[in-house]
Amino acid sequence: MRKRRLVALFIMAAFIMLATMAFAAGGDAEAVNYGFWSIIPPLLAIVLAFVTKEVILSLLLGVFSGALISVFATSNSGFFMKLIESYTKTFEYPVNALADSWHAGIIVFTLTIGGMVGVIAKMGGTRAIANALAKKAQTARSAQLATALMGVVVFFDDYANTLIVGPTMRPLTDKLRVSREKLSYIVDSTAAPVATMAAISTWIGYELGLIGDAFKSLGVEVNPYSVFFQSIPYRMYGIFALVMVFMVGAMMRDFGPMYEAEKRARLTGKVLADGAEPMLSTDFEKDLESKNIPLRVSNALVPILTLVIFAFIGLWYSGGGLEQPFTWDGIRDAFGNADASAALIWASALASIVAVVMAISQNIMTLKEALEAWVEGAKSLVITTIILILAWSIGSIASDLGTAEYLVQVISSSLPSWTIPVLVFVISAIVAFATGTSWGTMAIMLPLAVPLAAAYTGGEPSTLVYATLGAVLTGSTFGDHCSPISDTTIMSSMASSADHIDHVKTQLPYALTAAGLAAVVGYIPVGLGMPVWLSLILGVAGIWAILKFYGKSTDPKDLKA
């Protein structure tokens, strides 16, 4: 650990000297083009997180580097004064991140979910549901498939998906020796990839708005919802990522770091690696035996169903559902306009109240004990909230420095029409991974990509336009799915009680496999005129072949110590 920290400090010291030389002159803030320097904050945070495994330190240094670049580029103060200004500016970003109502809502929702989980666990609900599920899912294979299926069922919001599926299925996967790395991978892979393609979700309104604006800029009248559906077959990364989750579970074959994690769990029962630092404590159940608490499935099921049902109702209501006709289009529009953070807070608070009332009414806990259990559960997520705030801060810095615009400018160039979908997909994936935001990437890329594709087709919607549109939306999902500075990646680690960097390291080869197939058998052939259905078949076949011939069995009878 000491060597890792020395490396981190060396990198930071070298960066300070380079930044000083580059920006010592100072200048006009509005005239500055940060260029290459704009990618330093997210790049530094990501690299240091992998090298040191100290996520908070890495993110904080990333934030500081962004402040340093900004101040040295724009301030005319002396050298030491610039350092002081950089230090103070560093802490403006977390404060601004917390001041954002959406971010504040997600923090409150996350802590409230943690409190609910704490109460449910203390009254034996999570253990009871694990025991009940174990009667149906008695192998690691069935546990993985059940978790993936539940992730698809909770389709309406990626945050709700993550924070419901992870804590609910973790006791079962632990019991059946499925590693926390695998659990977090399944949870993450059925969150954003599902929500972005769902016909009713918290993403739909945002995507429809961007699609409508992109075509309006071309002077073309389209039905955004129709275009949305037309683009779904071209969301190849999301489709392949989902297929891979189910195929990995069904075939019981893994590769790369995930294979080692699964082998460890199967042979030793260690669901976490030695030295791992899970982002959520699971010590809530330690007093169950000594207190003789009865294990009832309803103690978990009722609060969780309350959360799911009222999250759905809350999303509909907050989006103006009462003013809309109760039809498919009305429900869709309500979800598209929903205030997701507010609706999820309402639902999680109500679910927490239900859990507390159930614990008291069954004489499992007193009111004081139930509230203490709630606070203990919420406290277990403090580290997660700090990481989320710093990740959002990195995103703000990337926006201020123009990271995404720089990457688009560097990578894009004048190329034949058949290269447009794959080029747009690669750029979107890189931008989303570097900035940790899919929505931000969509907002930047769609106004650029759709007109670019339409220029080759006379402005009308066509296969090339739909493929390019799908490439933007699914390429943006790639970053949201697997970037270590993405909020949903962080929340997947937390919900699964996994070590964050272990989750990222084990998931990334799978995400890159799905992305590689999307590019090679998807966007390149489609750009050349091949039917999209054939690309989808080739992609699924490719996943099967990679797992069959490159992957290794994680079935206990095939493993050797």
pLDDT means per 10 residues, the chain with 561 residues, are 59 57 50 75 79 77 85 79 86 88 79 82 76 75 89 73 80 89 92 78 69 76 76 92 94 93 91 81 53 76 84 83 76 73 84 91 88 84 77 81 73 69 89 80 78 72 85 87 84 86 92 94 91 94 94 83 56
- For residue 278, the 8-state DSSP code is B
Is the CB of residue 202 less than 8 Å from the CB of residue 311? Answer: no
Q: What are the φ and ψ backbone dihedral angles of 554, each rounded to 5 degrees?
A: -110, 15
The SS3 call for residue 330 is helix
Closest CA to 247 of 559, 545, 556: 545
- For residue 477, the 8-state DSSP code is H
Q: Who's near 247: CB < 8 A, 6+ residues apart?
A: 543, 544, 547
| Torsion angle of the four alpha carbons 543, 548, 554, 556, in this order, in degrees rounded to the nearest 10 | 140
Is the CB of residue 266 less than 8 Å from the CB of residue 559? Answer: yes
Closest CA to 285 of 303, 299, 266: 299
**Helix H or strand E segment including 384:** helix 382-401
Is the CB of residue 332 less than 8 Å from the CB of residue 209? Answer: no
Distance between CA 349 and CA 342 in Å, rounded?
11
What b-and-e string marks burial along 150-165, b requiring 16 or more CB atoms within 10 Å of the CB?
Answer: bbbebbbbbbbbbbbb
- Within 30-179, where are the H helices? 40-52, 55-74, 79-90, 92-99, 101-122, 125-136, 140-153, 158-175
Distance between CA 281 and CA 279 in Å, rounded?
7
Distance between CA 546 and CA 533 in Å, rounded?
20
pLDDT at 186: 93
Return the amino acid letter for 12.
Answer: M
Q: Who's near 311: CB < 8 A, 6+ residues apart?
A: 156, 157, 160, 343, 344, 347, 348
Q: What are the φ and ψ backbone dihedral angles of 159, each rounded to 5 degrees?
A: -65, -50
pTM for this predicted structure: 0.76
Q: How many CA atoms lie within 13 A of 241 on its CB side?
A: 34
pLDDT at 5: 60
Closest CA to 443 of 458, 463, 428: 428
354 bridge partner residues:
none
State the first-to-last Cα distance of the chain, in angstroms, to the nearest integer: 28
pLDDT at 523: 93
pLDDT at 311: 80
The SS3 call for residue 289 is coil
Closest CA to 529 of 476, 457, 451, 478: 457
Is the CB of residue 200 less than 8 Å from the CB of residue 333? Answer: no
Distance between CA 518 and CA 474 in Å, rounded?
10
Burial of residue 20, with CB atoms counted within 10 A of its CB: 0-12 exposed, 13-18 middle, 19 or more buried: middle
- For residue 234, the 8-state DSSP code is G
Q: How far is it between the farthest Cα atoms of the chain?
A: 74
Where does 396-524 show beta strands of DSSP type E? none
